[in-house]
């Protein structure tokens, strides 16, 4: 039994064999053979932001969201296996944090339109940054009563820096829509990516360590708009592989870029 991993030899049989050897005055191997299969460690659950938060007593989706500059709804939707009710989050639970964004705390009586007017955002931006809001924005108040009042008013992504001074209650975020007011020339010496609009007021020259998400976050442009004005980039997971070093991409088209369809015909291959 001791010589083969296919037997039932275990700690009990090992003690019996050691006793037999001691009584008979002989020596021999008594080690338990290694298992036939190596037990693989269970991988940690996938977390897009690679940032996790351990909940504390008294935490709610809203308090966690406001303390980390994330959407309360995104926090709940990404952790429904451990968060059953946003108003009563269990303490000691590890939750995956969504990507950060500029947040706004929804007040009683506010609508998507009133928030956009107050913050200087284009019409429809609140719904665009918070996909759970329905077409008529009729569920804004009822949904934030459940999820929490913190919503995104900018594209998700970027690093949150905790202020050194006490935060102003419900600060007004800087309007972000990804567009530029005036057209500028591409960077000197850079090759504009094929098909990229030349009606652009902000350019980014691709570096070796760049990724599509990093470019969007750094330049404050929505990923959908980024791909629309730079059609040479592959969609989804293939975007990073389609980046070409030293080529120029538009990260701030003018508001009239579709009406003035001038694009680069230079191949980046």
137 and 194 assigned to the same domain: no
pLDDT value of residue 177: 72
Residue 68 has pLDDT above 50, yes or no: yes
Q: For residue 154, give the nearest of 214, 229, 104, 213 by alpha carbon.
A: 104
Q: Does a structural domain hold residue 91?
A: yes
**Judgement on whether residues 109 and 190 belong to the same structural domain of the protein:** no
In angstroms, rounded to a whole number, what is the distance separating the alpha carbons of residues 200 and 221?
Answer: 12
Q: Quick check: 75 and 97 in contact, CB under 8 A?
A: yes
Mean pLDDT value of segment 90-95: 93
Statement to judge: residues 255 and 187 lie in one domain: yes
Residue 165 has pLDDT above 90, yes or no: no
Asked whether residue 44 is assigned to any structural domain, the reply reads no
> Which of 150, 184, 183 is CA-nearest to residue 257?
183
Asked whether residue 164 carries a pLDDT value surpassing 50, the answer given is no
For the chain, percent of residues with pLDDT exceeding 70: 90
21 and 87 housed in the same domain: no
Does a structural domain hold residue 41?
no
Give the pLDDT score at 79. Answer: 93
Expressed as residue numbers, the domain containing 8 is 1-36
- Say if residue 173's pLDDT is above 60: no
Shared domain for 117 and 201, answered yes or no, is: no
pLDDT in tens, 192-228: 999 999 999 999 999 998 989 889 888 888 888 999 9
Residue 118 has pLDDT above 60, yes or no: yes
Same domain, 59 and 93: yes
Whether residue 194 is contained in a domain is answered as yes
- The band of 110, judged by pLDDT with boundaries at 50, 70 and 90, is very high
Would residue 109 count as lying in a domain?
A: yes
Cβ-Cβ contacts under 8 Å for 75 (sequence gap 6 or more): 61, 64, 65, 83, 95, 97, 98, 147, 148
On whether both 13 and 96 belong to a single domain, the answer is: no
> Does the pLDDT at position 67 exceed 80?
yes
- Residues 112 and 204 reside in one and the same domain: no
Average pLDDT, the chain: 86
Q: What is the structure's pLDDT at 171?
A: 52
Residues 32 and 58 in one domain: no
In a domain, 167, yes or no: no
pLDDT of residue 5: 86
Predicted pLDDT at 160:
44
Task: Give residue 121's pLDDT band: very low, low, confident or very high (50, 70, 90).
Answer: confident
* Structure confidence at residue 169 (pLDDT): 52
Highest-pLDDT range among 49-53, 147-151, 218-222 = 147-151
Confidence (pLDDT) at 224: 86
Q: Is 222:165 a contact under the CB 8 Å cutoff? A: no
Number of CB atoms found within 10 A of residue 203's CB: 19
> Quick check: helix, strand or coil at residue 152?
strand
Q: What is this structure's pTM?
A: 0.47
The pLDDT confidence band at residue 181, using thresholds 50, 70 and 90, is: confident
Taking only the tens place, the pLDDT of each residue in 9-44 is 999 999 999 999 999 999 999 999 888 777 777 777
Q: Are residues 26 and 116 in the same domain?
A: no
- Whether the per-residue pLDDT at 242 is higher than 60: the answer is yes
What's the total number of domains in the chain? 3
- Quote the CA–CA distance of 255 and 36 in Å, as a whole number: 65
94 within a domain of the structure (yes/no): yes
Token pair in block for residue 250? 């538009």
Q: How does residue 176 score in pLDDT terms, banded at 50, 70 and 90?
A: low
Which structure tokens are listed for 13? 């049989």
Pair 139, 205 in one domain: no
Q: What is the mean pLDDT of residues 135-155?
A: 93
SS3 content of the chain, % helix, strand, coil (to 5): 25, 10, 65
Determine, yes or no, domain membership for 86.
Answer: yes
Average pLDDT over every residue of 231-241: 85
Q: Is the dihedral of CA 66, 67, 70, 72 positive or negative?
A: negative
Q: Name which of 40, 82, 83, 39 is nearest 60 in CA terms.
A: 83
Do 134 and 203 sit in the same domain of this protein? no
């Amino acid at each position: 039994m001791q010589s083969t991993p296919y037997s039932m030899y275990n700690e009990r049989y090992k003690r019996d064999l050691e006793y037999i050897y001691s009584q008979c005055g002989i020596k021999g191997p008594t080690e338990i053979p290694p298992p036939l299969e190596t037990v693989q460690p269970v991988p940690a659950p996938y977390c897009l932001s690679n940032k996790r938060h351990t909940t504390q007593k008294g935490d709610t989706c809203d308090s966690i969201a406001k303390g980390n500059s994330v959407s309360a709804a995104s926090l709940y939707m990404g952790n429904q296996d451990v968060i059953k009710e946003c108003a009563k989050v269990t303490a000691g639970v590890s939750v995956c944090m969504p990507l950060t964004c500029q947040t706004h705390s929804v007040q009683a009586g506010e609508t998507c339109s009133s928030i956009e007017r107050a913050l200087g955002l284009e019409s429809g931006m609140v719904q665009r940054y918070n996909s759970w809001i329905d077409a008529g924005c009729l569920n804004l108040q009822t949904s934030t009563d459940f999820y929490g009042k913190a919503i995104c008013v900018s594209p998700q992504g970027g690093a949150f820096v905790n202020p050194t001074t006490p935060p102003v209650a419900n600060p007004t975020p800087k309007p972000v829509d990804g567009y530029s007011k005036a057209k500028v020339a591409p960077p000197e010496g850079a090759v504009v990516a094929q098909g990229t609009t030349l009606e652009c007021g902000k350019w980014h020259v691709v570096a070796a360590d760049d990724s599509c998400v990093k470019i969007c976050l750094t330049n404050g442009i929505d990923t959908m708009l980024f791909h629309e004005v730079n059609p040479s980039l592959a969609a989804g997971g293939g975007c990073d592989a389609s980046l070409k070093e030293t080529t120029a991409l538009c990260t701030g088209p003018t508001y009239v870029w579709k009406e003035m369809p001038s694009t680069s015909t230079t191949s980046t291959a």
